Amino acid sequence: MKNRNKKIVVEEKFKIPQIDPKYDGLKKTKPAFERTIAASPYFGSKVKDKILVPDNKGTINVDKAYDAFRPKGEKHISDEELIKTHGTKYYDFKILNEKKREEVLGVKYNNDLENKEENNEEFKIRTVEEEKPYESHIYYRNKEENKIIYNDIEDNEIKNQEEKINNEIKTEPKEEVKLNLNFNLDEFEETEVEENKEYQLPPLDLFKRSGIISDEVPEWLVEKKDIINKLLQDFEIEGEVVNYVKGPAFTRYEIMLQSGVKVNKVSSLYDNFQMELGAKSIRILAPIPGKKTVGIEVPNNKVDTVYFGDLINENFVNDNKPLRVALGKNIDGETIYKSIDDMPHVLIGGATKSGKSVCMNTILISLLAKNKPEDLKLILIDPKKVEMSFYEEIPHLVTPVISDPEMASFGLKWVVDEMERRYEDLARAHVRNLEDYNRKAKATKEFKPMPYIVIIIDELADLMMTCSADVEDSIKRITQKARAAGIHLIVATQRPSVEIVKGTIKANIPCRIAFKVASYVDSNTILDEAGAETLLGRGDMLIKDNDAPIRVQGAFISDEEIGAVCDFIRDEASPNYIFTHNDLKQQMQQESIKEKDISNMEADSTIYEVAKYCILEGQASINGIQNSFGFGFNRAQRIVTILEQRHILGPKTGSTKGRDVLITLSELDRMFGRNSNEEEF
């Protein structure tokens, strides 16, 4: 009995389960694709065609499979009706010739289901139809006579080609002969595609790309690091270079200072660093924004070109951000993208040959690479007449490229009127901006979407010297309120002085791009701070957008690439201008007539007395004229406008003081034919 309660212990050897190295685990794989008797007219039987072959079981409803290629109105038509109308059950395949297949595949068509009977003396060529083909589609080659023979052909056009083709066979008997039996249909098809084809964006292979860049650290980079450390020791500054980052055009050395060392000690050694490093110019960041180090940016011995083709790809084109542009790469090698609708207006300044024009071209090509003409419209103002000649007659233009300054001022006035009209449309649609308006337009179909409008002025200085008042007023109005209407302005100048880039213009343009300039004053005009005078040129730029400026090496795009993109776009669509230069000239003539009418509304004696008053006062203001002569505001404003047109008073300055007086009292008397002496007054 005692043995019954005794536990039996079985000793087992300790084992660790092992996994067979050949065991790959459980795999769930789909059954391999099996070919069926149906073949795609484009891809043959080598590619699975879900449209043509609804199932892959070997049993196919052929009528349903080929129905996908028929027009909507001809689906599910009986075989008898098709044969009666077209002479064949699968008439759709007449358009699928060798040329069409090569356009789709890029290679010659090869169908492994094609029946070739090469054993007989006669090599018979058939169409893709499985049943009895249409008789006029059958021909064969007689090898003995080396001649093509047709079976009961009633088509006169094919008969007329028989002699020509037979002659070609005799001259080249070994070459395979192919006949285009649908040449009339092909010609009609090409014309139809030319008229109604869908607009295609420029292909990305038009842009040049750089090769493989080596990751090896050059010797000069380490040498300059040692020079900086030695200079810090010579001037008894406790600190050393703890890191360096090599960019395309310059390298930034980061100096960590000991606690208690003043940062401005490093800044004060600017000239010493420049001399010891043998650099044309350097830039000191004391400190680097967001870091506990001081940065010294030193030019590289060899500049790596940043190609525009390296910045754009399929993701950039299809990112659903129509105004996003590629500008260049920062020191870390990251691509810098900026969206114009976030900027929302841009001021670009820089000296000649600093990279300003190339930057404007990269902005334009970025926009053209991802926008169709119905989504984006451009107004290009080029007083120099040579910078934007590439973009003539592209379909995105609102009007041909404008080169006349006075005509440009009227073009900007049209933009202001368009802005006001758009705001009325936005108010009626109960939306706040153009993006919401277009989204609602596509959803409701009640109104048409509106395109974005981007205005690019290549040289602002020429416009400001010619018609300053009109251009300044238009720019102020556009930059103040045009963002929500989908209108954006990009202004560039190589003369960034306060006479050209006035404070009233800068106030509403938050985004600035500065290239190399001559002095600190010019840098302060563009960026409101120093830094641009130390840039290297050749695309080296500072971008300031409500934050601290970031340094970027601008992308390079050649004239050949710009021309290739514009030629491709011109081939896709023709220009459809909203207004032409003749329309602007008529507007200018009407404005001139209107100014004469306004001038005739006031007597010369009244104008003379007001002008005399302004000369004696030394300045002119509407309030002063109202109080002195008892005029209403509208009349006083009209008289001031007349005096400005006659160059008696200067333009409105935007400040609180009145307008400047441009002539003396004796000149006024000669202008109005009076013989008074200036000393009498």
CATH number assigned to the domain comprising residue 655: 1.10.10.10
Say how far apart CA 167 and CA 557 lie, in whole Å.
51
Final residue before a domain boundary, out of 299, 319, 339: 299
Domain span at residue 314 reads 308-406+451-572
* The predicted structure's pLDDT at residue 178: 35
CA dihedral in degrees (43, 44, 46, 49; nearest 10)? Answer: 60
The tokens for 606 are: 């009244």
Query: Is 212 a domain residue?
Result: no
First to last CA, the chain: 148
Say if residue 679 is exposed, middle or buried (CB neighbours under 10 Å; 0-12, 13-18, 19+). Answer: exposed
Q: Report which of 152, 147, 122 is spatially closest to residue 137, judged by C-alpha positions.
A: 152
Say how far apart CA 55 and CA 68 lie, in whole Å.
14
Residue with tokens 């106030």: 507
- CB distance 480 to 446 below 8 Å: no
Query: Is 626 a domain residue?
Result: yes
For residue 280, the domain's CATH number is 3.30.980.40
- Do 627 and 484 belong together in one domain? no
Say how far apart CA 381 and CA 524 lie, in whole Å.
26
Q: Report which of 362, 356, 393, 358 is spatially closest to residue 378, judged by C-alpha positions.
A: 393
pLDDT, tens digit, 9 for 90 and up, residues 177-207: 333 333 332 333 333 334 456 899 999 999 9
* The predicted structure's pLDDT at residue 71: 58
Distances in Å between the Cα of 261 and the Cα atoms of 270, 282, 288, 462, 486 are: 17, 22, 16, 49, 51
- CB distance 518 to 533 below 8 Å: yes
- Do 293 and 320 belong together in one domain? no
Orientation angle between helical segments 604-617 and 665-672, nearest 10 degrees: 170
Question: Which segments in the chain show pLDDT lower than 50?
Answer: 1-2, 10, 23, 26-37, 47-58, 109, 111-155, 157-158, 169-195, 678-681
The tokens for 502 are: 């006035």
Residue with tokens 């600035």: 512
The tokens for 435 are: 């993006």
Say how far apart CA 448 and CA 446 lie, in whole Å.
7
- Do 190 and 239 belong together in one domain? no
Q: Report which of 283, 209, 205 is spatially closest to residue 250, judged by C-alpha positions.
A: 283
Residues 6 or more apart whose CB falls under 8 angstroms from that of 75 comprise 67
- Do 77 and 175 belong together in one domain? yes
3-state SS, one letter per residue, for 210-240:
CCCCCCCCCHHHHHHHHHHHHHHHHCCCCEE
- Do 295 and 343 belong together in one domain? no
Final residue before a domain boundary, out of 531, 551, 572: 572
- Do 178 and 239 belong together in one domain? no
- Do 634 and 559 belong together in one domain? no
The tokens for 389 are: 């000649």
Q: How many independent structural domains does the chain possess?
A: 4
- CB distance 206 to 561 below 8 Å: yes
Kindly report the pTM of this predicted structure. 0.62
Query: Is 260 a domain residue?
Result: yes
Query: Beta strands of 361-462 (E only): which ranges?
Result: 376-381, 452-457
- Do 360 and 491 belong together in one domain? yes
Query: Is 202 a domain residue?
Result: no
Final residue before a domain boundary, out of 179, 195, 211: 195
Query: Is 22 a domain residue?
Result: no
Query: Is 376 a domain residue?
Result: yes
Q: Is the dihedral of CA 653, 659, 662, 668 positive or negative?
A: positive
Say how far apart CA 310 and CA 312 lie, in whole Å.
6
Amino acid found at 418: E
Backbone angles phi, psi at 104, to 5 degrees: -80, -50
Distances in Å between the Cα of 82 and the Cα atoms of 69, 128, 188, 340 are: 14, 16, 22, 56
Say how far apart CA 569 and CA 368 lie, in whole Å.
9
Say if residue 152 is exposed, middle or buried (CB neighbours under 10 Å; 0-12, 13-18, 19+). Answer: exposed
* The predicted structure's pLDDT at residue 93: 57
Query: Is 10 a domain residue?
Result: no
Backbone Cα Rg of the chain: 38
The tokens for 568 are: 């491709």
Residues 6 or more apart whose CB falls under 8 angstroms from that of 283 comprise 250, 296, 297, 531, 534, 535, 551
Q: Report which of 555, 583, 127 is spatially closest to residue 355, judged by C-alpha positions.
A: 555
- Do 388 and 257 belong together in one domain? no
Q: Is the dihedral of CA 295, 534, 515, 301 positive or negative?
A: negative
- Do 473 and 354 belong together in one domain? yes
SS3 517: coil
Query: Is 117 a domain residue?
Result: yes
3-state SS, one letter per residue, for 445-510:
CCCCCCCEEEEEECCHHHHHHHCHHHHHHHHHHHHHHCCCCCEEEEEEECCCCCCCCCHHHHCCCC
Alpha helices per DSSP H over 129-180: 156-171
- Do 283 and 318 belong together in one domain? no
- Please count the CA atoms within 13 angstroms of the CA of 235 that sit on its side-chain side: 18
Q: What angle do CA 353, 357, 358 make, to 5 degrees?
A: 95
- Do 238 and 294 belong together in one domain? yes
Backbone angles phi, psi at 124, to 5 degrees: -100, 130
Say how far apart CA 20 and CA 542 lie, in whole Å.
61
* The predicted structure's pLDDT at residue 160: 54
Say how far apart CA 381 and CA 490 lie, in whole Å.
10
